[in-house]
Structure 1
Amino acid sequence: MIIDGLSLIYPNGVKAIDKMSLNISQGIFGLLGPNGAGKSSLMKTLVGLQKPSSGQVLFNNVDIIRDPDHIKRTLGYLPQEFGVLPKANAFQLLEHLAILKGIKDKSFRKLHINYLLREVNLDQHASREVYTFSGGMRQRFGLAQALLGNPQFIVVDEPTAGLDPEERNRINGILSKIGQQRIVLLSTHLVEDVYQLCAEMAILHSGKLKITGSPKELIKALEGKIWARPAASDEAEIPDFSSVMIRKNFIGGESWITVFSENRPDGFQLQKPTLEDFYFCSIKNLI
């Protein structure tokens, strides 16, 4: 997928996407950014739910701005939250959605649905009503419905939000397998998920593309520049103005300050940089 000079200005004058250009290849591509960064606007535009003010998006050499049905025919989507039909079990609901997606052959449809239920580890729950599923089971069901019809472009929005660590790992394992065969666009606030899953990522802020690259390569740019020390509970400023505080957090109940600096500030110890450090440095225009 090639995004070239994409802009979106809403009628109230808000510039949700500002001249964004981006190449997304096969695999899992991560989108990181604070609320209002433009992630949702970008996703809605890419899947044909809204038209941009200007720019071009090519998928398989087809301009999907002019022909949005092209992307919709090969699209899978897992929203952050979704409702289900009451009293419908997992197989019945997937069959209903498969029919809506145009999978007409009944025998193939049954094989396809059973295969997807096995892929997301829900085959033992095919006859269970979906509204009774736990949060993690419902997200796995959501992945199954997103895979109906073997789409080549899948958008997943906050797939592990609110899940326990075991279920997060299970979802991420499924996403990793899915990403080996198609484009998966992952939008999340969880930096750890992007680091674990994504070969490439982008950071968005105020509708603009801040930076793209491999998470591991981006982290390397911070080596020797991230420092930390314990902090007083009321400490808000860093006396050494050659340093910039990028975050203040708690470790084992103790308050810590992490700063970006080319040189070692007094009292600070060098830290191994993380993708979260890079994210904060990028948002603060330090790199």
Structure 2
Amino acid sequence: MHASTVRNLLVRGMLAGLIAGLFAFGVAYAIGEPSVDGSIAVEEAQAAHEAPHAGHGGAAHEEAAEEEEVVSRSVQSTAGLATGVLVYGVALGGIASLAFSFALGRVGRFSPRATAALTAAGAFTTVYLVPFLKYPATPPAVGNPDTISKRTTLFFLMILLSVLLGIAAIIIGRRLAPRLGNWNATLAAGAGFIAVVAVAFVFLPANDDAVKAGFPAALLWEFRVASLAIQAVLWAVFGILFGALAQRLLAPRAADAKTEAEQPTPAVA
């Protein structure tokens, strides 16, 4: 694939990621922010309950918390949320478009639209779903602040492991295809991926202190479902939009190349 084509796909991927980020922001604001507000209310209620027993120390903690809040909650839930989600969408859209450029024609004889859908589904599964199943998201101020570094490291380690296992599954599936056929090779590679991920789930340490004792289970469930929905919408919209853009970019070139190849070679006098 020519460098100019890759560059055009990168631009389209970032554009698709931006639009997908807008949809994800709508979902985050509609169903994600209420659970965040609820978790903050729970934290404030617990702090208010502990303050009378803390004496002057509790008052000092409250004053320090007020001073640390440089950005208001209303700005965080609107402009701040939009900025974060849109930047996230553009970045992932660019990375996914580069992965698409590598995968096109290498994972099967799929059209650009189908390859984009497979790329988006694979990215969602390996980058978010698998790590989420092991280390699910938690609302702000819910976990132990002393272990946040450990929890972040484990989460990114799970992302790296999931992505590497996904790439290995694709390579193994391609090598098994000539002997087993495409369908059976895909099933075998997928089963191997699930089996190794299950082993990793067993041996990797758990985040037992990720959620404080007494935190409402229903609120935690709502937050995690909202987090999953945001990512699902982001990748679904990206896969659809980028697939359409890539199809429009690449299909005419493929048709022109096919037509040129089918033209008879002029006879030499």
TM-score normalised by L of structure 1: 0.20
- The structure with the largest strand share of the pair is 1
- The structure with the largest helix share of the pair is 2
Larger radius of gyration: 2
Higher relative contact order structure (alpha carbons within 8 Å, sequence separation ≥ 6): 2
TM-score normalised by L of structure 2: 0.21
